[in-house]
Amino acid sequence: MTEELIKEVKHIQKCLINKGMEGEEWEEKMEIVHKLEDVATYLKDALGRGVEF
């Protein structure tokens, strides 16, 4: 299940990156992309410790 969550987070990131935005919207989008990367990292670390979500 955790691996599927990581794939979904990466998919959402890719969709956000591919969406054209400018100005403040772009800055907000990039903030969200970085936060999603933090989530993916957390999930990978948890998976490495044997924690499943």
Per-residue pLDDT of the chain (53 residues; tens, 9 = 90+): 899 999 999 999 999 999 888 889 999 999 999 999 999 999 999 999 999 88
Q: What is the pLDDT of residue 18?
A: 92
Q: What is the pLDDT of residue 15?
A: 95
Q: What is the pLDDT of residue 41?
A: 96
Q: What is the pLDDT of residue 21?
A: 83
Q: What is the pLDDT of residue 40?
A: 96
Question: Long-range contacts of range 10-13, CB-CB < 8 Å, 24 or more positions apart?
Answer: 10/40, 12/36, 13/37, 13/40
pTM of the model: 0.83
